[in-house]
Amino acid sequence: MNTDWGSVLHQQEKNSINDSEIIVKEIDQARKEEKEELQKKLEIKLKDLILPNEHLAYHYMVTINQKLSDNFRTAWQRQNLKVNLEEVIENWGLTKYIKDNFLYPKVNLSTLPSYSFVLKFMFTLKKPYMSLDENDFHIIDNPLRKDKVINLPFVAPSSWKGSLRNSLWQLKYDPENDLIRRIFGNEKSPSEEIDLRRGRLYFFPTFFTKKSLEIINPHDRERRVGTVPILMESVPQDTTGFFTLLYVPFDLIGCDENNIKKQVSEDLELISKGVKLMFTYYGFGAKTSSGYGTVYENVEEGTVTLRTKEIEVSVKDTEKVKPPEDGYIKYLNEDGSVKGELKGSGKYGLLSDKEYYKIKNQLEGSKNEYRGFRQWYGLNGEKWQKHLNSLQFPKPEWPIRNFENFSELIEISKNIATSLESSGAHNEC
């Protein structure tokens, strides 16, 4: 299949590659004043070859002309130092589809056993993320692992599982520990004496919409100078990703209710500790020992949703919102956002007093009313928008706990565990 695909690409790009080879030969023979013009012409030609498959094109060039392949690699490197893949997705017209089906996976707990839970949050990389692609034909030796269909860098579910298991191993939870076995399942073994079991955790892939290049330049110890720079594809620092983890206690169906609560409580607390360590200390992906693949402590859209109606959501999770006064409504759009003509360089991103005076004749309302609105918007605008957005969706069937950092996640896990365990004695299944 790869051979056929490569053959098709070769036929499509054969003329462009041949033209580029001719230009390279002309550069070698040209006078100094002509070389610059020919070099620009070559760069334009090579840039067009970077898609649809720059890797096969590069390997073909290596076989016919080394200088051509070196020029092509340099052109590819310049174009890939920093890439925003959201623009590519937008050009495809797949922005909504990719977000709904890849970037932000949805989980329906209603179809799962009681006490299943889903953990979600958006993290921000503190250090670049690296991994290793399975594609043998690549323009560099250290490419990121990418999805074969949409070509976005991603963390595979198996990678998440291995990273979390390693973080818990660092906490002295070895593979034979009962907690580890029921969360992750058994490691595969040819021995028939071991009863294999599936774990309760299900990981979703995390996709990224940005990529860049890390350049590592090993130095000669004696001469103290760089040797040959090594290019490593990465997801750059400060890129966001969405993490989704599902816990299903399928093996506890039919067991004593109190024992189910006890085990779920223990598992939730342990998973929360492991998640914090994995993200903020040990990292995930390649080169974690050098600090790669770690994230900031604070997260966005962090939620723990547990399939039980026994736990009430705290007041903090359903923070009350002060609605706008009747006179303020004219300054807002239907979704609660401020109207465009009121945006400026003043406080809260709105018009300053000076900016307001310049267009006050175009606006309704008085100066004092606008000042009051500006103050209300700064304190309540974002909450009001979230409130209006929530009205468009039905009330969640299961209690949702929100958190803003990994420390809060651990506290929430302890609170849920306390609430579950205090509801009855623990009997063995």
Q: What's the pLDDT score for residue 310?
A: 60
Q: What's the pLDDT score for residue 155?
A: 95
Provide the whole-model pTM.
0.69
Which sequence spans correspond to the domains of the chain?
2-79, 87-313+399-421, 326-391
Q: What's the pLDDT score for residue 305?
A: 94
* Residue tagged 């690699």 (tokens): 73
> How far apart are alpha carbons 339 and 378 in whole angstroms?
14
Task: Check whether the bond before 175 is cis (ω within 30° of 0).
Answer: no
Q: Return averaged pLDDT per consecutive 10 residues of the chain, 429 residues in all.
A: 55 66 71 69 63 68 75 75 82 83 88 93 94 76 84 92 93 87 78 73 94 75 66 90 95 89 94 96 89 93 87 47 86 87 82 83 82 88 82 71 95 91 53
Q: What's the pLDDT score for residue 169?
A: 92
Q: Assign 3-class secondary structure to 66-107.
A: HHHHHHHHHHHHHHCCEEEHHHHHHHHCCHHHHHHHHHCCCC
Please name the residues in contact with 274: beta carbons below 8 A apart, sequence gap of 6 or more.
Answer: 164, 167, 168, 171
Q: How far is CA 183 from CA 175, 271, 408, in A?
A: 10, 9, 22
* Residue tagged 């309760």 (tokens): 200
Scored b (16 or more CB within 10 A) or e, 28-52 reads eeeeeeeeeebeeebbebbeebbee
Q: What's the pLDDT score for residue 428?
A: 41
Q: How far is CA 13 from CA 20, 64, 174, 217, 279, in A?
A: 11, 14, 53, 33, 43
Please name the residues in contact with 377: beta carbons below 8 A apart, sequence gap of 6 or more.
Answer: 328, 331, 338, 348, 350
Q: What's the pLDDT score for residue 315?
A: 38
